[in-house]
Amino acid sequence: MSLLGASLLRPVIALNIWTFSMEAWMYATRIPGISKYCGEVTPYNAQQEMDKLPPQIKWKADNYNHLFEQPTQFYAIAITLALLGAGDDDLTTGLAWTYVGMRVAHSFVQSTTNTIMVRFGIFACSSFVLLGMTAKAATLAF
């Protein structure tokens, strides 16, 4: 079965798979970290106990949370573009894959070294890619 716009939906699926990968990485470091650095975690002291974790462990959770911020715009605009008939356009699909690649790179930087200016540069570039996708959708919709 061939779905119109499937080329553009593949990056959407890929970014969602990456989000699950970051979730697994987060738990793989966070659960042992809680056992090592925290006391008993209750609803009343959870934040205080989480504050005891080293930054390298917290970075993965921070990135996981970031994957639910701007990427939600990506999901919406990519699906919108597919519905508007731009799903098999090479430029649009290329932009979508570029965005996904930049988000993966952002995840690696934030989760390993957390070099702020490098991370910001990747984020800014991915924002421009998303802006390009949004502009494409706007030209098709209006």
pLDDT > 50? residue 1: no
pLDDT > 90? residue 71: yes
pLDDT (mean) for 74-88: 94
Torsion angle, alpha carbons of 106, 110, 114, 118, to 10: 10
| Termini Cα distance of the chain | 31
Q: By C-alpha distance, which of 124, 7, 138, 135 is closest to 70?
A: 124
pLDDT in tens, 14-36: 999 999 999 999 999 999 999 99
Domain residue limits, the chain? 6-141
CATH number of 6-141: 1.20.120.550
pLDDT class of 2 with cuts at 50, 70, 90: low
pLDDT in tens, 110-119: 999 999 999 9
Report the SS3 class of residue 142: coil
Average per-residue pLDDT for the chain: 95
Entry pTM: 0.93
